[in-house]
Amino acid sequence: MPFKIVVADPETGKSYKLEAHDPEARRLVGLRIGDKIGGEVVGLPGYELQLTGGTDRDGFPMRADIYGTGRTSVLLAGGAGFSPRKRGERRRKRVRGARVSEAITQLNAKIVKRGEKPIEEILAPKEPEAKAEEK
């Protein structure tokens, strides 16, 4: 059960698409939107991340104000899952609860605390040394 995790950097405005595989991904199940996790889950040692949302396998967004893990239909006036076109518009939409479950495929997070190394240095593609010596 791998999770795709989109990590946003509030200082630079960039986001990075990372993956968490078992057994690290198992530690995420049961957490709520707003909870903090260690960056080691996605390969960012020393970083601290805060969960900000996510979507399930069918594209339904998570909402922080909905309790539990399941899908439900709620009357929305704005926020995650609905963008009103007219002032005062409300609409019933299907959304998912704030807890992470096995049905979630993508999680969104933001960096709260930085590690010693810059994130670009950690995520930079590593060239094999044999190819570098040939050139």
pLDDT at 131: 55
CA distance 19 to 2: 7
Angle of CA points 48, 51, 57, to nearest 5°: 135
What is the reported pTM? 0.83
76 neighbors 91 (Cβ within 8 angstroms): yes
Q: What sign does the dihedral 37-42-46-47 (CA atoms) show?
A: negative
Average pLDDT of the residues in 101-122: 90
Average pLDDT of the residues in 81-93: 94
Average pLDDT of the residues in 16-32: 90
Does position 132 have pLDDT exceeding 60, yes or no? no
Task: Give the residue from 72, 45, 77, 62 showing the smallest Cα distance to 3.
Answer: 62
Average pLDDT of the residues in 20-35: 90
CA distance 35 to 95: 19
Give the least confident one: 37-46, 92-101, 114-123. Answer: 114-123
pLDDT at 116: 87
Gyration radius of the chain over CA positions: 18
pLDDT at 57: 92
